Amino acid sequence: MLYAILKFIYRVGLQVFFRKFEVRNRHLIPAQGPLLVVSNHPNTFMDPIVIASLLRQPVYFIAKGTVFGSGFQNWMLRQMHLIPIHRREDNPDQPISNEEAFSASFRALRDGQTLLIFPEGNSFNQRRLRKIKTGTARIALGAEAENNYTLGVKILPIGLNYSAPTRFRSNVFVNIGEPIEVADYLEAYVQDKKAATVALTDEIRNCLESRIIHTPTDEEDTLARQVETLYKKRLAATIPATAPPHIHDFILTKAIIRGINHFSQVAPERVNAIKKEINHYTLQLKRLRLHDALLGKGPTTILRKSAIGLFFLLLGLPIYLYGLLHNYLPYIIPSRVARAVTKEEEWYAPIMLTVGIFTFPLFYWLEVWLLSQWIDMEGLILVLHLITLPLSGFFTLGYWDTLLHTQAHWLLLRMFFQRRRLIEQLQKEREHIIAQLEQARVEYLALQNTGS
């Protein structure tokens, strides 16, 4: 019961927290178990919330044993379908035994349940897949062995891709893969348990890596993000018309990373040269408080957008102030709580989501109650006022974004007149970088077409 209530609340909360919540291949999710769901783990507690919200059936979570504590806490976590598993890195001085966790997992699969496992073990706010542990394969194959290889266990790989994991109103792209049939490994498991376990683990890794943005190092990820900023819009024109719109960004980023990997191997000096050029250009923008997207527009376009933005800001100011007055406290409290509770960025988003689920309804209910008591507001008027509270909150967020963009437009316009030569030099640098990226794309595609 508690699980069902929390799932409903979080499902609603996710639609508010994320600007875009996009799912690819939702139809591949099996409607029932026995099922093991595996995923990368970039965003701590947010990851199981996102995945559980997509599955119709209840989900049981394999969680590290350190989250369990007192009797009441253990009871609460078990009501939320958490199964503890102990890891050597959590208690290096203690003997490790996961017999209870494996037994509980075997029982769950035998009963046709769905388990969620993050085979990386820990959560890291990075765009890469770390070493995959063998626990998932051991549970899947072990459950089959305990039940005479008749369960029909499947493993569903899910890739989680966040645009900004710790930020409110960011985007998440959930990339679901074809289920892995554990039955394909049972014959090999009978012959050699270790080899079959390793082979299944390797397939899990390959499936997950193909469904996420994977950059091997922080340095490569930084370069990929810079190229995305400069070149993704130009590159978007090359996407096949048949590709669904919600996977465009994913396709483009994967293509950029493949290109970087290729040229890092065959022409590292060329990559280093363009990296230096991009870093210099990016540093100049940062010093001037400008954004790359603005440099690709001419003064006429900037002036027109500035005028439109200013008109919207003036017209929408009363609604903005109304929304700010009624939404500021429930909006700011989750952020303050997250930063007070932890210094680890990976926990900011789930804490903000959890606290926000309570602060917004609580503040809205309190305000409606006070209005009904103080000024005798009731009936339809009270209901209409309640509806305006979240709507004005969303308007306030949009208004603030418009304000920031309009400020940036006016800043660039001022520089066009005061420091025109500097802006023209930056635009030339930008054009030169994009020309090099375009040339690299043409060469890479030529190699691909010739099969080299």
Predicted pLDDT of residue 86: 56
Q: What are the structure tokens assigned to 250, written together?
A: 């994913």
Cis (ω within 30 of 0) for the bond into 157?
no
121 vs 193, more confident: 193
Classify residue 325 by burial, with Cβ atoms within 10 Å: 0-12, 13-18, 19+.
exposed
pLDDT in tens, 216-275: 899 999 999 999 999 998 888 888 777 788 888 999 999 999 999 999 999 999 999 999
The pLDDT-based confidence of 95 (bands split at 50, 70, 90) is: very low
Predicted pLDDT of residue 76: 56
Whether residue 68 is predicted with pLDDT greater than 60 in this model: the reply is no
Range in 83-87, 307-311, 379-383 with the lowest mean pLDDT: 83-87
The pLDDT-based confidence of 173 (bands split at 50, 70, 90) is: very high
Find the mean pLDDT for residues 144-169: 93
Tokens 């899910």, residue located: 158
Out of 93-97, 286-290, 345-349, 445-449, the most confident range is: 286-290
CB environment 195-227: b (16+ within 10 A), e (fewer): ebbebbbeebbebbbebbbbbeeeebbebbebb
Whether residue 97 is predicted with pLDDT greater than 70 in this model: the reply is no
Whether residue 41 is predicted with pLDDT greater than 80 in this model: the reply is yes
Q: What are the structure tokens assigned to 397, written together?
A: 């967020």
The pLDDT-based confidence of 61 (bands split at 50, 70, 90) is: confident
Classify residue 284 by burial, with Cβ atoms within 10 Å: 0-12, 13-18, 19+.
middle
CA–CA gap between residue 129 and residue 134 (Å, rounded)? 14
pTM metric for this prediction? 0.87
The pLDDT-based confidence of 62 (bands split at 50, 70, 90) is: confident
Whether residue 447 is predicted with pLDDT greater than 70 in this model: the reply is yes
419-426: long-range contacts at Cβ-Cβ below 8 A with a sequence spacing of 24 or more?
422/288, 423/295, 426/281, 426/284, 426/285, 426/290, 426/295
The pLDDT-based confidence of 123 (bands split at 50, 70, 90) is: confident
- Of the chain, the percentage scoring pLDDT greater than 70 comes to 91
The pLDDT-based confidence of 78 (bands split at 50, 70, 90) is: low
Find the mean pLDDT for residues 50-58: 92
CA–CA gap between residue 75 and residue 81 (Å, rounded)? 10
Predicted pLDDT of residue 448: 80
pLDDT in tens, 277-320: 999 999 999 999 888 988 887 778 888 989 999 999 999 999 99
Please calculate the CA angle 293-400-296 and round it to the nearest 5 degrees.
Answer: 10
Whether residue 321 is predicted with pLDDT greater than 70 in this model: the reply is yes
Predicted pLDDT of residue 240: 79
Q: What are the structure tokens assigned to 224, written together?
A: 């990929």
Whether residue 180 is predicted with pLDDT greater than 90 in this model: the reply is yes
The domains of the chain, with CATH numbers, are 2-209 (3.40.1130.10), 218-294+431-450 (no CATH), 297-418 (no CATH)
